[in-house]
A = this chain, B = another copy of it.
Amino acid sequence: MKAYLLTEMTWPEVKEALQTVKLAIIPIGAHEQHGPHMKESCDAVLATEMSNKLAERLYPYVLVTPTVNMGVSIHHINFPGTITLQPDTLIRVLRDMVWSLKQHGINKFLFLNSHGGNQSTLSVACTTLTHELGVQIYYAKTTASAKEAMKKHISSTLYGHSCEREVSEALYLAPHLIHMDRLEKGDIREGQWRLLRPGNAIQGTYQYEEMTANGCIGDATKASYEAGQEMVEEALDNLTESLLQFL
């Protein structure tokens, strides 16, 4: 299958593609610890792979830009290797990307994000840049819309980071991210973080090591290629269906 990937193209190829392209997908990941069994580039790689697959579905109407390979990860900073951008830095990078692509005639954008810690910054970026630059911006968490497959494959009540969901996605999209011989269940610690999880009366910031000693939650040992395939493909179906209505 074909897809317009900006990193793989020459300028005459881009010029040709711009005759049909209406929307740019900007893959947004993170560089942060993913427990003992996943590489720290996990989110950046998964956002890239999802973007590429979505671009295949929407060929020749979209292109994929270079990946924003670091994100807002301050809650992981106490695990070795994590790099975090300030929210304002991430917004500035996105402003420059959107501005540049607008010079080439693109006026619609999808921020395709694989990292939960980026979501509120992307919401702010979407509000701000839409008005400031006069463009249309959408954003999505990569596989959040795969509700049926998640119900089927995920049994942990606390999941979402280097868990059966994420490892399954990686098994399907980028198995090199995983050390299969080191898969571990989340080593959960008790603490006040439980009071701040989504669904509680109040929200707030806590550091990841308060919640988990090994940097994982959920149960990575339950991951499978099939679960990954079903979640990714269901999400791609949903993303494709939504975006087609905006092209």
In residues 54-106 of chain A, which contact B (Cβ within 8 Å)? 65-67, 69-70, 72, 74-75, 77-89, 92-93, 95-97, 100-101, 103-104
How many residues on A have C-beta within 8 angstroms of the other chain's C-beta atoms? 89
A36 touches B10 (CB 8 A): yes
Is A115 positioned at the interface, with any CB of B under 8 Å from its CB?
no
Is A155 positioned at the interface, with any CB of B under 8 Å from its CB?
no
In residues 174-229 of chain A, which contact B (Cβ within 8 Å)? 179, 182, 192, 195-196, 200-205, 215
Residues of B with C-beta under 8 A to A10: 33-40, 179, 182
A92 and chain B: residue at smallest CB distance: B89
A6 touches B40 (CB 8 A): yes
**A14 with B36, Cβ < 8 A, contacts A83-B66, A138-B202, A239-B202 known:** no
Is A157 positioned at the interface, with any CB of B under 8 Å from its CB?
no
In residues 85-140 of chain A, which contact B (Cβ within 8 Å)? 85-89, 92-93, 95-97, 100-101, 103-104, 110, 119-121, 123-124, 126-128, 130-131, 136-140
The answer for the CA separation of A245 and B70 in the assembled complex, in Å, is 31
Is A235 positioned at the interface, with any CB of B under 8 Å from its CB?
yes
The answer for the CA separation of A102 and B145 in the assembled complex, in Å, is 37
**A235 with B201, Cβ < 8 A, contacts A12-B36, A86-B128, A131-B74 known:** yes
B140 touches A201 (CB 8 A): yes
**A100 with B77, Cβ < 8 A, contacts A66-B70, A138-B203 known:** yes
Residues of B with C-beta under 8 A to A120: 119-121, 123-124, 127
> In the complex, given contacts A88-B88, A120-B124, what are 7 additional A-B residue pairs having Cβ atoms less than 8 angstroms apart?
A10-B182, A11-B82, A18-B80, A78-B103, A123-B203, A139-B203, A195-B245
Where the two chains meet, the residues of A that have a C-beta atom closer than 8 Å to any C-beta of B are 6-12, 14-15, 18, 31, 33-41, 44, 65-67, 69-70, 72, 74-75, 77-89, 92-93, 95-97, 100-101, 103-104, 110, 119-121, 123-124, 126-128, 130-131, 136-140, 144-145, 179, 182, 192, 195-196, 200-205, 215, 235, 238-239, 241-243, 245-246
Residue pairs across A and B with Cβ atoms less than 8 A apart, 25 shown, are A6-B40, A6-B81, A10-B34, A10-B37, A10-B39, A10-B182, A11-B34, A14-B40, A31-B65, A66-B70, A69-B69, A78-B103, A82-B104, A83-B101, A85-B96, A88-B88, A89-B93, A89-B96, A93-B93, A119-B120, A120-B124, A130-B204, A130-B205, A195-B245, A201-B239
